Amino acid sequence: MTIEFDHLDLAVADLASAVREFRASGYLLVKRDLGPLRGGTAGIACAGNSRIVLSGPGTVAASALRVVSRTLGNDFTGIRRAVFRVKDLSRYVDRLEEAGIGVSKSGKTITPDDPALPVLTQASAKSGPATTISVTRLTLVSPDLDRTLTGLDAIFGEPDVDGRWRIGLTTLTAERGSVVSIRARLNAARIPAFAAGLGLSIPSDDVDHEAAERLGEALRIATVSHDELTKRAEAPFHRLGAYLEEQFPRVHRELDWSTFGPSRLYCWKGESEHVGAILLAHQDVVPVDNADLWSHPPFSGVVDDEFVWGRGAIDDKSRVLAILEAIEDLLRRGFHPKTTIYFAFGHDEEVGGHEGAQVMAQYLATQNVSADFVLDEGGIVSVGMVDGISPPVASIMLGEKGFATLRLDATDPGGHSSMPPERTAVGRIAQAIARIQDNPLPLRVTPPVLDMVRRMGPHMPGPVRAVLASAERFPKPIAKLLSLKPHTAALVRTTFAPTVIRGGVKENVLPQSAEAFINVRILAGDTIDSVVEHCIKVVDDERVRIGVTSGFAADPSPSTDPNSPLFDMISEVVQETVPAALITSGLVPGATDSRHYSAVAQARFNFTPILLDRADLERIHGTDERISLANYKRIIDFNVRLLQRL
């Protein structure tokens, strides 16, 4: 069968603006047809009589794509379909239907009912101007990967031994993800800044192979933090430390550094003794639940042509290595900072940071260190996660919620299940959980969230923009609006997540005991004590004991003023690193090492300049954690730019 790549449908929010930016980046634009209301289409010429079709939201094509967009739950921008040319359309219809893939036909085009699969057209190739730009790699992301692979086999035949299809200049692959999407690699010198958030990339986006391999090797060292003390091992951390000393010789020769157990503290003395910043990252990673589900073994550190794979690739070894890469590079160039800078790499962040970050922070306090700010993980550049906003959104977090795990337990005499009491121990625990979930703490808009809303408001669709413009005067409606979705509801309320419940030994024996654990993320204005008091009140059962577990717990952190010059400075560095990003603030819903440094820093920020969508977020602490070569380069570049300003 003969098949060729024809074009990509790339939906953009504003076609006229997209055309201008692609032209400015050196692309040949053909067949431009700007319609009303920012609609219309325009083609970008590619090699092999192929193209990228830009579609504005007012076009018929875009309207069809909007249906797909709504199905995926994403904002209406990005690559929505790949289209391939074939000579005999009927043969492909038969093959797809034999494989159980339904198709719809319109003229000389067929569309499989799996939205991750390419569209096929029998239209003749459209000759265009000579250009060397081509789509060299297409990655199809599918929630139903097995079905998508079946469809790809039907269209393209068996893949090569590496699981990829090579169609002319284009290599095609597929992977599993929670939503359908497409990524495309162009062999071009530039792309417009906004295009990275739509799924386009170019080779120069990627970090160099040597840096990627250094990260991969670090991921091969299983520095796992376990809750159980008996499972914790320091040997892997010492191996990682020795590896860092070997790979970053200038850092370890020219900076002052010391260890606190496996944790590592570095001091880069500046022209002034004034401490400009403390940059944090952590060496430890969470355990892996089921390694068999991973595409690559979780501690193999595989480096391919797009990603570095492994536990810790995002959380948080990439930041440890990226900071060291940035320092090593600046030392190589003879750079010397104006202020003194500390770098603290903890070894137990995932279990509370008490032996790492807390100890290093206490040491800095004894040295009378008072930094302008501390910077840690927590905020990202989200893609397609803010309804109504097309550009990537960089969230520089100003503080974090508190954290605690509540234990509920009840006991009973037990007995035979044929003569049960009104409520068994299991029943009382179940009822207590239900009462806590049915009686949440009040919604509340805190200053960081109010600032986030203020910054995002002007970029939202008209009706929402009008509501958000009045956020300061009407905080309750804003809180109600944010509470409608789980990922924003966490910003306006203390959350209760029952995670474990157990009790009983046999189906016909009354349980003598039952217990449950509820993970609580505490919004500023509440405290651990007030949360426990609230739960005791709403459960209203003296036979159910409620308390905080002996593990990690912390009240909400103080929040930094978003109107400070420091926020503006970090925002500028973010925009230099990710030019298309909108800047906002917010709160970290989880817990980070930065909370330990409140006494030695005047302000705190949580941010990493990596572009992630919802599917990417699921990989953190989950299956197939990985970081793209482009994202890793962004972290290094961000740290280089930041250090040059300090």
Residues written for the chain: 646
Task: Please determine, for residue 459, whether its predicted confidence score (pLDDT) is greater than 90.
Answer: no
> Domain end: 155, 187, 205, which one?
205
Helical axes 317-332 vs 209-219, angle rounded to 10°: 140
Residue located via tokens 């040597």 = 210
Question: What is the distance between the alpha carbons of residues 163 and 152, in angstroms, rounded to a whole number?
Answer: 11
Side chain identity at residue 25, one-letter code: S
With respect to residue 387, please indicate whether it lies within any of the assigned structural domains. no
More confident residue, 55 or 641: 641
Q: Answer whether 589's CB lies under 8 Å from 452's CB.
A: no
We report the CATH number of the domain holding residue 130 as 3.10.180.10
Closest CA to 266 of 318, 343, 335: 343
Is residue 456 domain-shared with residue 534, that is, in the same domain? yes
For the sheet with 103-106, list strands across it: 29-34, 40-46, 50-55, 3-11, 78-86, 119-121, 109-112, 103-106
State what percent of residues in the chain have pLDDT above 70: 93
Is residue 183 domain-shared with residue 223, that is, in the same domain? no
What pLDDT shows up at residue 467? 67
What pLDDT shows up at residue 614? 84
Q: Which of 175, 284, 409, 613 is catalytic?
A: 284
Is residue 216 domain-shared with residue 137, that is, in the same domain? no
Beta strand 393-395 pairing with 381-382: antiparallel
Q: Answer whether 566's CB lies under 8 Å from 372's CB.
A: yes
Q: What does the pLDDT average to over 389-408?
A: 92
Give per-residue pLDDT as tens, 309-334. Answer: 999 999 999 999 999 999 999 999 99
List strand residue ranges (DSSP E) for 472-616, in order: 495-503, 509-510, 513-522, 545-548, 582-584, 604-606, 611-612
Question: What is the distance between the alpha carbons of residues 591 and 316, in angstroms, rounded to a whole number?
Answer: 13
Q: Which of 6, 175, 316, 349 is catalytic?
A: 349
Is residue 234 domain-shared with residue 258, that is, in the same domain? yes
Distance of CA 63 to the CA centre of its chain: 29
What pLDDT shows up at residue 463? 65
What pLDDT shows up at residue 61? 46
> Domain end: 172, 205, 238, which one?
205
Task: Please determine, for residue 437, whether its predicted confidence score (pLDDT) is greater than 50.
Answer: yes
Q: Which residues form the domain of 544?
A: 402-548
> Domain end: 205, 232, 262, which one?
205
**Distant-in-sequence, close-in-space partners of 96: CB < 8 Å, separation ≥ 6:** 102, 103, 110, 112, 151, 154, 155
We report the CATH number of the domain holding residue 625 as 3.40.630.10
Is residue 80 domain-shared with residue 152, that is, in the same domain? yes
Is residue 330 domain-shared with residue 476, that is, in the same domain? no
Task: Assign 212 to helix, strand or coil.
Answer: helix
First to last CA, the chain: 60
State what percent of residues in the chain have pLDDT above 90: 69
Task: Please determine, for residue 511, whether its predicted confidence score (pLDDT) is greater than 60.
Answer: yes
Mean pLDDT of the chain: 90
Is residue 479 domain-shared with residue 349, that is, in the same domain? no
pLDDT winner (highest mean) among 354-358, 383-387, 458-462: 354-358
Give kind and range of the element (H or E) at residue 309: strand 307-309
Helical axes 528-539 vs 425-438, angle rounded to 10°: 120
Give per-residue pLDDT as tens, 92-128. Answer: 999 999 999 999 988 889 999 999 999 999 877 666 6
With respect to residue 75, please indicate whether it lies within any of the assigned structural domains. yes
Question: What is the distance between the alpha carbons of residues 630 and 202, in angstroms, rounded to a whole number?
Answer: 9
Give me 446's structure tokens: 């805190």
With respect to residue 579, please indicate whether it lies within any of the assigned structural domains. no
Q: How far is CA 479 from CA 296, 450, 483, 531, in A?
A: 42, 9, 6, 20
Task: Please determine, for residue 281, whether its predicted confidence score (pLDDT) is greater than 70.
Answer: yes
Closest CA to 611 of 594, 624, 629, 623: 629
Give kind and range of the element (H or E) at residue 325: helix 317-332
We report the CATH number of the domain holding residue 514 as 3.30.70.360
What pLDDT shows up at residue 71? 37
User: Which of 404-418, 476-490, 530-544, 595-609 has the least mean pLDDT?
Assistant: 476-490
More confident residue, 158 or 71: 158
**Domain count of the fold of the chain:** 3
pLDDT winner (highest mean) among 232-236, 547-551, 606-610: 606-610
Q: Answer whether 43's CB lies under 8 Å from 52's CB.
A: yes
Is residue 216 domain-shared with residue 266, that is, in the same domain? yes
Give per-residue pLDDT as tens, 50-90. Answer: 899 998 875 544 444 444 443 333 445 788 899 999 988 98
With respect to residue 53, please indicate whether it lies within any of the assigned structural domains. yes
Is residue 16 domain-shared with residue 160, that is, in the same domain? yes
Task: Please determine, for residue 497, whether its predicted confidence score (pLDDT) is greater than 60.
Answer: yes
Task: Please determine, for residue 38, whether its predicted confidence score (pLDDT) is greater than 50.
Answer: no
Is residue 329 domain-shared with residue 217, that is, in the same domain? yes
Catalytic-residue membership of 284: yes
With respect to residue 392, please indicate whether it lies within any of the assigned structural domains. no
Give me 458's structure tokens: 């002007």
Is residue 488 domain-shared with residue 358, that is, in the same domain? no
Catalytic-residue membership of 555: no
With respect to residue 296, please indicate whether it lies within any of the assigned structural domains. yes
For 52, phi then psi, to 5°, come to: -115, 125
What pLDDT shows up at residue 39? 57
With respect to residue 635, please indicate whether it lies within any of the assigned structural domains. yes
Give me 325's structure tokens: 């890469």
Give per-residue pLDDT as tens, 243-279. Answer: 999 999 999 999 999 999 999 999 999 999 999 999 9
Is residue 191 domain-shared with residue 283, that is, in the same domain? no
With respect to residue 389, please indicate whether it lies within any of the assigned structural domains. no
Question: What is the distance between the alpha carbons of residues 521 and 404, in angstroms, rounded to a whole number?
Answer: 7
